[in-house]
Copies of this chain bind each other. A is one copy, B any other.
Amino acid sequence: MSMTQNQLEVSDVRKTVRRARRAAHVLATLSGERRIEALLAAANAIEARAAEILAANQKDCAIAQCAVESGELSRAMFARLRTSERGIAEMAMRIREVADLPDPLHRRLSAMELDDDLVLYKETCPLGVVGVVFESRPDVVPQIASLALKSGNAVCLKGGAEALETNTVLVAIWRDALSAFPDVPVDSVVLFHTREDVAEILKLHDEIDLIVPRGSNEFVTYVIQHSQIPVLGHGEGICHVYIHEDADLQKAFDVSLDSKVQYAAVCNAMETLLVHKEIALRFLPDMVAQFRAAGVEVRGCARTMELAATQGVIPATEEDWKKEYSDLIVSIKVVDGVNEAIEHINRYGSRHTESIVTESHDVASRFMEFVDAANVFQNASTRFSDGFRYGLGAEVGISTGKIHARGPVGLEGLTIYKYKLFGKGHTVGPYSKGQRTFKHRPLSE
């Protein structure tokens, strides 16, 4: 099947999403082996057709280059858009890694005999249709498509306009690969391009089960406000590191520095450093010096200013505690103890990732119980909160919501369960009249 035959009519969003929905009903019934075969075929096709992908990517990059020169596109976005032979090989490798993960479907979560010959199973199944809206990076296409296929879900992708050609070719290759399997529907993956398409997609709460917006805080908020579809994502990432009074100084320096400077633009970077007053004198001047040496702008509370006044620290205001800098800027606050740190975090944090540096297991446990966040760490950089690092294989996104899935979300977040009840003609009447009572006997297997 040629690429053009597979090209989507993006004019009719609802029709396309309905085709994805019908595909989802079929995907839900495919065996784990079949889903693996289809994934490996897709990985092979991406490698075999690398030249097409590179050619398309060059077209996108040529246009993007002009946009960079005219200031419409940032250099960072441009860098993320460009792919290479090596990038394509990595795409294929990632798909094979996802194929290798344990099957998330048909897992039995519980089994109970409600009464004689009346057995209830709770088993995992796919969500159905997942919508994912993302920017630039073309490797998101195979990443999301592989997670969706592995978990038996159809996926509606909407990429950035700047990656139009690359995304189109990647989706066409994916669909071509699926078309070799008569029982695997090609509409498992459909692609949209425009903002108008997104606006239409957000209205389709009867057809789409979950929407994953990957983008700016403003965009995530827009999606939540404009759709009845459940949303998995994160707006802000206001992460903290708290240095307790008993902290090992080296660990405190290492964790703080890595959390801030290892990759400042991402959501799991630290924005505010909280420091126990009893360790502040020993810790802060050196820490500030390290930040300054790494090119970090430091904003401090009054007590921080006293301790590091000569080191170019700027006074922090209330606004600083609420701010996701996404840049080489850190705010520092000296606190009276772990309780004040917890209060500050629960008030200003975005429930993403919070780390404590302490040698005390009890203090760490208290911090972890009281802090309301998806990821709570002891003596580790906030930058560890990530699907790959967590061993999930890949991630659909990171969720700071508290419903369904939290933190880095992999395959499991794309599944739900159904209850299957097997009887022999059982009716509710006799239980309701008190003639029979339930046994509720858990079955072990």
Chain A contact residues, CB within 8 Å of chain B:
25, 28-29, 112, 114, 118, 120, 127-128, 209-210, 224-225, 228, 230, 248, 250-251, 254-255, 257-258, 262-263, 346, 357, 364, 366, 368-370, 372-381, 383-385, 389-391, 401-404, 406-408, 416-429, 431-432, 438, 440
Contacts and interface: CB of A to CB of B under 8 A. Distances in A.
A402 B431 CA distance: 29
Contact of A427 (B254, B423, B427, B428): B254
Contact of A416 (B118, B257, B406): B406
Contacts of A380: 118, 421-423, 425-427
Contacts of A369: 28-29
A378 B112 contact: no
Query: How many copies of the polypeptide does the oligomer hold?
Result: 2
B346 A25 contact: yes
Given A29-B370, A379-B424, A381-B428, A438 B389 contact: yes
A248 B346 CA distance: 59
A380 B120 CA distance: 11
Contact of A403 (B114, B381, B403): B403
Nearest to A129: B402
B128 A428 contact: no
Given A114-B391, A262-B428, A380-B423, 17 more contacts: A25-B372, A29-B366, A118-B384, A127-B402, A209-B403, A224-B228, A230-B401, A248-B425, A257-B427, A375-B421, A377-B420, A377-B421, A378-B420, A383-B428, A384-B423, A389-B431, A402-B416
A406 B418 contact: yes
Nearest to A390: B120
Instruction: Rank and list the top 6 A-B pairs by shortest CB-CB distance, nearest first.
Output: A251-B425, A380-B423, A258-B427, A391-B440, A383-B428, A404-B404
A438 B381 contact: no
Given A114-B389, A225-B228, A428-B383, A407 B418 contact: yes
- A interface: dominant SS: mixed
A402 B130 CA distance: 11
A22 to B, nearest CB: 9
Contacts of A432: 262-263
B423 A378 contact: yes
B225 A419 contact: no
A419 B375 CA distance: 5
Contacts of A428: 258, 262-263, 381, 383-384, 389
B422 A364 contact: yes
Given A419-B374, A432-B262, A426 B112 contact: no
Given A384-B428, A428-B389, A378 B421 contact: yes
Q: Which of A118, A210, A380 has the most CB of B within 10 A?
A: A380
A298 to B, nearest CB: 19
A419 B390 contact: yes
Contacts of A224: 228
A379 B419 contact: no
5 contacts: A29-B366, A224-B228, A263-B428, A377-B420, A390-B419
A64 to B, nearest CB: 26
A379 B440 contact: no
A261 to B, nearest CB: 9
A47 to B, nearest CB: 23
B419 A372 contact: no
Contacts of A262: 427-429, 432
A404 B403 contact: yes
Given A391-B114, A426-B379, A418 B28 contact: no
Contacts of A257: 427
Nearest to A346: B25
Nearest to A423: B380
Contacts of A368: 418, 420
Contacts of A114: 384, 389-391
Given A403-B403, A403-B416, A377 B423 contact: yes
A378 B419 CA distance: 11
